[in-house]
Amino acid sequence: MPTRNIGKYGIDMIIELEGPRFEPWRLLPDCTPEILKEHASWLIPRHYDPETDLFVAPIQSFLLKTPHHTILIDGCFGNHKDRPNPMANQLNTRWLERLAAAGATPEDIDIVLCSHLHPDHVGWNTKLENGQWVPTFPNAKYLFAEPEFTHWEAVNNAAEQPLVHLVDSVLPIVAAGQSQLVPMDHEVEDGLWLEPMIGHSPGHVGINVEDGGEHAIFIGDMTHHPLQLTYPDWCSGFCDDKPMAIKTRRDFCERAAETDLIVVPAHFPPPTFGTIMRDGDAYRFHYEGE
Ligand SMILES: [Zn+2]
């Protein structure tokens, strides 16, 4: 994929995993075989693979180059991590080589942004070095939305079993002094700011970039799959506060359908960038260039 420019910003997708991976009932518990059949004409093959009965959805990061910073948005699962989820366990992907191919070394990254602190968004925060988890990006400030961090820190402190992904991918950043807790509407630089998109997790944020007459927003996991635009009240199986997640999605779709806002959902397959259009009482995703 070529670099997508939004004015002065350059954006590259760094894919970790792609292809059919998610059981429909797990990703979208309200989904039924009948509904998959009803929408087969646009779901297959991009979003659903009937051979395996799996949803197609990538795990990917975004490299965002600004005039002032080289920023990584969302760190996928990462390599060599022990995970209960077989999809994520002990990965050994070429993600770092793909980052290099997009024009950034780990040393170049000076800011890491996480839409939220689930395992598929924080993994590359750290790497294994001599048996220790250390920051992958030695020169980066890692910005965590304060409510998101404090929520997961409290959950981890109260849990009988520590949250492995917090222990190996978030807390080492704090220990290294590279974390910075920020408000959910934090402005990173002129034209680049966070906004609250809560529900999927308590401190989930969207990341806005605006320049040259274009405005894009990385919405993370606020919506996982385009069927959630057809059925805005469907939550993922991983959402924390479902009524709030629905309200956030409905409010956002309403706003996006009224504007030219370029929407960048974390788990939509390439080309990933698109706009939200009204479709009867609901919405649909229109991929760029199609
Ligand atoms: Zn995710």
pLDDT band at 1 (very low <50, low <70, confident <90, very high): confident
Give yes or no for a contact between 116 and 200, defined as CB atoms under 8 angstroms apart.
yes
For residues 198 and 249, is the Cβ–Cβ distance under 8 A?
no
Between CA 133 and CA 151 the distance in angstroms is 22
User: What's the confidence (pLDDT) of residue 195?
Assistant: 98
Neighbours of 38 (CB within 10 A): 11
φ, ψ (nearest 5 deg) of residue 18: -140, 180
Is residue 207 pLDDT above 90, yes or no?
A: yes
Counted domains in the chain? 1
Give the domain range for residue 117.
4-287
CA of 121 to the centre of ligand 1 (A): 6
pLDDT category of residue 54 using cuts at 50, 70 and 90: very high
Taking the model in full, what pTM does it have? 0.97
**What is the distance between the alpha carbons of residues 279 and 285, in angstroms, rounded to a whole number?**
10
Q: Ligand 1 centre from 225 Cα, in Å?
A: 11
Residue 233 pLDDT greater than 90, yes or no? yes
Report the alpha-carbon distance of residue 170 to residue 172 in Å, rounded.
6
pLDDT band at 115 (very low <50, low <70, confident <90, very high): very high
Task: Give the residue carrying structure tokens 């004015």.
Answer: 7
Q: Determine the distance separating the centroid of ligand 1 and the alpha carbon of 221, expressed in angstroms.
A: 5
3-state secondary structure at position 189: strand
Mean pLDDT of 250-259: 97
Does residue 112 carry a pLDDT above 90? Answer: yes
Q: Could you tell me the CATH number of the domain that includes residue 256?
A: 3.60.15.10
Average pLDDT, the chain: 97
Segment 60-103, tens digit of pLDDT: 999 999 999 999 999 999 999 999 999 999 999 999 999 999 99
- Calpha distance 151→51 (Å, rounded): 39
Question: How far is ligand 1, taken at its centre, from the CA of residue 44, in Å?
Answer: 21
Task: Give the percent of the chain with pLDDT over 90.
Answer: 99
Residues near 117 by beta carbon (within 8 Å), at least 6 away in sequence: 144, 148, 149, 152, 165, 166, 170, 201, 203
Rounded distance from Cα 188 to ligand 1 centre (Å) = 22
C-alpha of residue 214 to centroid of ligand 1, in Å: 25
Q: How confident is the model at residue 256, as a pLDDT? A: 98
Mean pLDDT of 173-177: 98
